[in-house]
Structure 1
Amino acid sequence: MPDSQLCLEALSALSGCNVEATSGVSQLSPQDFVNIVTLKEFYKQEGFKELEYPSIGTLSLQDPEDQDLYSAPLALTEGPGPEPSLRATVKINLQDFFHPQYDYDFTNIKDGSAQYLRGNEPYIRPCGWNRVALRVSKKYDDSDVWLGTGKDAWPVSYNGHNMDGSLGIILAHKGGPSDEPSFLDAAAASLVEERKRGRGVYSTPDIKMAEKYCKRFKSKVDGKTYKVVLQNRINPEKRVKCQRDHFWVVYIPEDYSDLQTKAIVQESIRPYGLLLKQA
């Protein structure tokens, strides 16, 4: 397992919280972290500025790293004295949260033409990354079949950063609009069929695509910059493949409450690895 403080920094970068170690009970589970990461992107897509999450309160959805020249500056706290941190502090127990027995370092591995399956679907292994295993075995009521390698296992997906909505995934194209037929077809369909607008939570089965959207942070442990991605399993009955290749969405209906939205994420995406790679 990489340095534990480095792992805490990675979780902090992903969640937007200050994640610290404790010998007591963890405030958040691995499932909570994937909930927070995906819900933050979803609610940003919906135009919200904050996310309320049980046990930690209000989380800001305004990430200074994502601000551009046209973004409004973050509001300054009024009143005397230094401005308090906008980041919530979260305590986790390292022994309860991580599962070193299942760590796997893919840093120097190249799969080439080798093919792997999870749930009878292609599994693109995270070659070039170091995987820190999360303690999720026997944490769900429906056994660990979802975490296996057989036909009933859930397929693998990766959560990047800023993987949001119809404009971000189905209609948008880095560098401007594309005139490729596949892009134009997706854009036209999204305007005709409301469901194709992609209101929901996004992930990708392709680690190279996730890397393009991944979060970066500079570590105080060694001064190096790292990329971080969550490796998950996704419920094949809840996931829909987007018209643009390499993206999956779990749809969230317009009339769903915050509680229902959290519930559908929780029953659709389960994390099992924290991926780190030196930038």
Structure 2
Amino acid sequence: MPDTNLCLEALSALSGCNVEPTSGPSQLTPQDFVNIVALKEFYKQEGYKELEYPSLGTLSLQDIGDEDLYSSPPALTEGPGPEESLRTTVKINPQDFFHPQYDYDFTNIKDGNKKFLRGNEQYVRPCGWNRVALRVMQRYDSGDDWLGMGKDAWPVSYHGHNMDGSLGVILIHGGSPDNDQFLDAAAASLVAGETRGRGVYSTPDIKMAEKYCKSFKSKVDGKTYKVVLQNRINPEKRKKCQREDIWLVYVPEGRNDVQVRAIVQESIRPYGLLLKQA
């Protein structure tokens, strides 16, 4: 497993919070993290400025002063900078958040023409990345089959931080994705120039996720890293967009915050934090 402090920095970059270690109970689970990362983008595209999240309170949806990637990293002895002091602080216990037994370093692996499946769908492995496993086994009432390799497993998707409806015209536009008018709505969206769809976006293509991923300069070693979340996505909840490399978890109009979080949890579950030196 990479340095624990480096992993906490990666979580901080993804969530927009200051993530710090604790020996006590974690304030957030891995599922909470994917909820926050995904919902930050969803609520931003809906025009909101803040996200209310249980146990944390109010989180700003604006990226507060992205660091200059070419500046020298602050010394480890320095206190938080002015931007960091404005962020919500989150305490997690690395022992119950990470699962080193299932870490896998893909940094020097090249799959070539090899094919892999998860849930009977192609799994494009994150070659070139180092995966830090998240502790998600036995955390869901439905069991762990979603995380396996059999027919009941969920396909793999990647979330690259800035992924939202601006990625392309979708086949679901307004109303329910199950009604008979969604193709007409898609055609109308082309005419109107509308490219946004209500929901949470991810991709089965790690290269696509990398284009939209978050980068940060580590205070641990001074190097710059890219970070992506590796998830499993519920095939019954996922909707394919016009672009084959973009998947949408649709959020219908009129859902409150609790219902929106429930939709995300039923649809996207994280199991890996991917790191790659930029």
TM-score bin (small chain): 0.7 to 0.9
The equivalent of 2:151 in structure 1 is: 151
1:45 to partner: Cα distance: 0.5
The equivalent of 1:180 in structure 2 is: none
1:64 to partner: Cα distance: 3.9
1:89 to partner: Cα distance: 0.4
TM-score with structure 2 setting the length: 0.85
Question: Is residue 135 from structure 1 mapped to residue 138 from structure 2 by the alignment?
Answer: no
Q: Deviations over 1:57-89 (max 9, x none)?
A: 1111111457xxxxxxxxxxxxxxx89822000
1:192 to partner: Cα distance: 7.3
What is the rounded CA distance, in whole Å, between the counterparts of 1:241 and 1:42 in structure 2? 17
Change (3 A) 1:49 1:115: same
Which residue identity is paired with 1:31?
Q
What is the rounded CA distance, in whole Å, between the counterparts of 1:58 and 1:169 in structure 2? 28
What is the rounded CA distance, in whole Å, between the counterparts of 1:57 and 1:85 in structure 2? 16
The equivalent of 1:62 in structure 2 is: 62
1:187 to partner: Cα distance: 6.9
Q: Deviations over 1:115-170 (max 9, x none)?
A: 000000000000000000000011111111000011110000000021112xx112
The equivalent of 1:217 in structure 2 is: 216
The equivalent of 1:256 in structure 2 is: 255
Q: Is the 8 A contact 1:186 1:243 kept in 2?
A: no
Deviates more, 1:88-97 or 1:56-65: 56-65
Runs (5+) with no aligned partner, structure 2: 67-81, 171-183
Runs (5+) with no aligned partner, structure 1: 67-81, 173-184
What is the rounded CA distance, in whole Å, between the counterparts of 2:132 and 2:22 in structure 1? 19
The equivalent of 1:71 in structure 2 is: none
1:188 to partner: Cα distance: 3.6
What is the rounded CA distance, in whole Å, between the counterparts of 1:243 and 1:83 in structure 2? 38
Q: Is the 8 A contact 2:134 2:272 kept in 1?
A: yes
Q: Is the 8 A contact 2:169 2:241 kept in 1?
A: no
Change (3 A) 1:115 1:189: farther
Q: Is the 8 A contact 1:171 1:186 kept in 2?
A: no
The equivalent of 1:124 in structure 2 is: 124
The equivalent of 2:272 in structure 1 is: 273
Q: Deviations over 1:200-219 (max 9, x none)?
A: 00000000000000000000
The equivalent of 2:15 in structure 1 is: 15
Q: Is the 8 A contact 1:118 1:149 kept in 2?
A: yes
RMSD of the alignment, in Å?
2.2
What is the rounded CA distance, in whole Å, between the counterparts of 2:156 and 2:189 in structure 1? 26
What is the rounded CA distance, in whole Å, between the counterparts of 2:145 and 2:220 in structure 1? 37
The equivalent of 2:114 in structure 1 is: 114
The equivalent of 1:241 in structure 2 is: 240
Q: Deviations over 1:85-117 (max 9, x none)?
A: 220000000000000000000000000000000
Identity of aligned residues (%): 81
Which residue identity is paired with 1:118?
R
What is the rounded CA distance, in whole Å, between the counterparts of 1:154 and 1:196 in structure 2? 27
Query: Mapping of 1:77-226 within 5 angstroms?
Result: 85-165=85-165, 168-171=166-169, 188=187, 190-191=189-190, 197-226=196-225
Change (3 A) 1:65 1:209: farther
Which residue identity is paired with 2:18?
N
1:198 to partner: Cα distance: 1.8
How many aligned residue pairs are there?
Answer: 249
Which residue identity is paired with 2:96?
D
Change (3 A) 1:65 1:127: farther
Q: Deviations over 1:181-236 (max 9, x none)?
A: xxxx997453479x985210000000000000000000000000000000000000
The equivalent of 2:50 in structure 1 is: 50
Q: Is the 8 A contact 2:27 2:55 kept in 1?
A: yes
The equivalent of 2:231 in structure 1 is: 232
Query: SS of the residue aligned with 1:267?
Result: helix
